Chain A
């Protein structure tokens, strides 16, 4: 599967930033406009909220093949949810509003409606409202009922475990997808450990998700391929086993590269997330085996949002 990041990557090797012995490339991550929404999923307990949320955000790593990019934002305690049960906040992003609406409706129907005790509520305010349970109500075959409570319409759909409760709509907002950074390390275990460390830190940042498995992607891509039918292919400049064959971006000591892709509701959310993640890796220091942090872009020609690593890391260099 392909990831959002791509070459040709522009790196200015003349400018140096080193944080705790780890080099930060003078490059940027290139990100795109997306449409995003948030859904609050609750259930009888956190275990079943996770079952619902995991199903809803499954097969949602990249818009290239999945239609949407989705992920769990964070857990919600009982006093943070509309119905007073524990829950999960899910963020979902797509390249356009139509796809987002289609995917949300499909995933609500197949993943939330079906999950025992689960309920779904709007998680974001916006003038743009999209269907959450509006059309799912017809599953009730005429026995569905709606309640308008404090200006919000909810649907109660009779199901075999009792009643499925869902808010009618949720908000849709303009968002950004494709923020990213690359972790270049001396070994695969070292790259993975650094990535895991970064993800744990980035999970604490609100309004963002890292949609790939475990938040990490190993198959960064470039635009195009030698095969005409392929519109993206492996990012050979960052593949360590091709160092002698292609114009590689990797030095001799780099043996593994992993990427973290970030989607968020706003530029600052993604920038904060990247800073937190990169800093967490840098805090591991030289012993971690991480040599460089870089980023994926398309030369700045395709995506309007540029996350410059040196600006993001600011004065953290040493």
Chain B
């Protein structure tokens, strides 16, 4: 089976809400059925075929091609499977995510993993503001640059970075540590073709918060220039 592929049509001038395009929503549907679905549950919603060329059969692995920063809510409330984004994407990537994996080979806009509860998001490029906001659990990795207000109102979960971001005052420095669980995490990353495969060093700078909401989340800064 080939991955279910959504190739974005270049005529899009508005933001496209992709929240229905998840493995759990599209399981057992044919390409024709998917093309005929409305993007949103509204009367005047465009059909999926209006925005994407659809191909493939395996809804457990969804690929977005020819993507751009107007594709919002990719992976919203997804519970399982994998979504691969071959370029950039818009806001709310993996918002309310409940499980599964999202791999973004480009950049993501604001609110990555907003209210995310479980699962893994790996972004090879940059991410915008409020990454991991209101995050409940799960793991987000951002290899590139990060915007402001990362981990805002974060309760639990792990955000993995390679660069030190500008941090909220309510996210506290816990020092530099060697964390054994990173071996398992890095090993799990090896299943995906991302720059995260280069991470070997278990020694990280750990920040915890958001203390404004009694949060127990963590932001880990990996040193990509030092080998294990």
Q: A147-B139, A147-B158 are in contact. Are A119 and B216 (CB under 8 A)?
A: no
The answer to whether B184 touches A154, judged by C-beta atoms less than 8 angstroms apart, is yes
By beta carbon, the residue of chain B nearest A119 is: B180
**Does B11 interact with chain A (Cβ within 8 Å)?**
no
Q: A145-B216, A149-B188 are in contact. Are A163 and B183 (CB under 8 A)?
A: no
What is the CA–CA distance of A147 and B218 in the complex, to the nearest angstrom?
12
Task: Please encode chain A, from 129 to 157, with 1 for each CB lying within 8 Å of some chain B CB and 0 for all others.
Answer: 00000000000001101111110001010
The answer to whether B216 touches A147, judged by C-beta atoms less than 8 angstroms apart, is no
Question: Using Cβ atoms and an 8 Å threshold, which residues of chain A touch B181?
Answer: 83, 147, 149, 154, 156, 163, 165
How many A-B contacts at CB < 8 Å in the complex? 44
**Does A96 interact with chain B (Cβ within 8 Å)?**
no
Question: Using Cβ atoms and an 8 Å threshold, which residues of chain B touch A145?
Answer: 156, 158, 216, 218
Interface of chain A, main secondary structure? strand
**Does B77 interact with chain A (Cβ within 8 Å)?**
no
Question: Using Cβ atoms and an 8 Å threshold, which residues of chain B touch A58?
Answer: none
Question: Using Cβ atoms and an 8 Å threshold, which residues of chain A touch B188?
Answer: 149-150
**Does B68 interact with chain A (Cβ within 8 Å)?**
no
Q: Which of B172-224 contact A (CB under 8 A)?
A: 177-181, 183-185, 187-188, 216, 218
What is the CA–CA distance of A73 and B179 in the complex, to the nearest angstrom?
28
Q: Which of B133-168 contact A (CB under 8 A)?
A: 137, 139, 156, 158
Question: Using Cβ atoms and an 8 Å threshold, which residues of chain B touch A82?
Answer: 183-184
Question: Using Cβ atoms and an 8 Å threshold, which residues of chain B touch A314?
Answer: none
Task: Please encode chain A, from 81 to 125, with 1 for each CB lying within 8 Å of some chain B CB and 0 for all others.
Answer: 011110000000000000000000000000000000001000000
> B-side interface residues toward A, CB under 8 Å?
118, 137, 139, 156, 158, 177-181, 183-185, 187-188, 216, 218
16 A–B pairs (Cβ distance < 8 Å), ordered by A: A82-B184, A83-B181, A83-B183, A84-B187, A145-B218, A147-B158, A147-B184, A147-B185, A149-B184, A149-B185, A149-B188, A154-B184, A156-B179, A162-B178, A165-B180, A165-B181
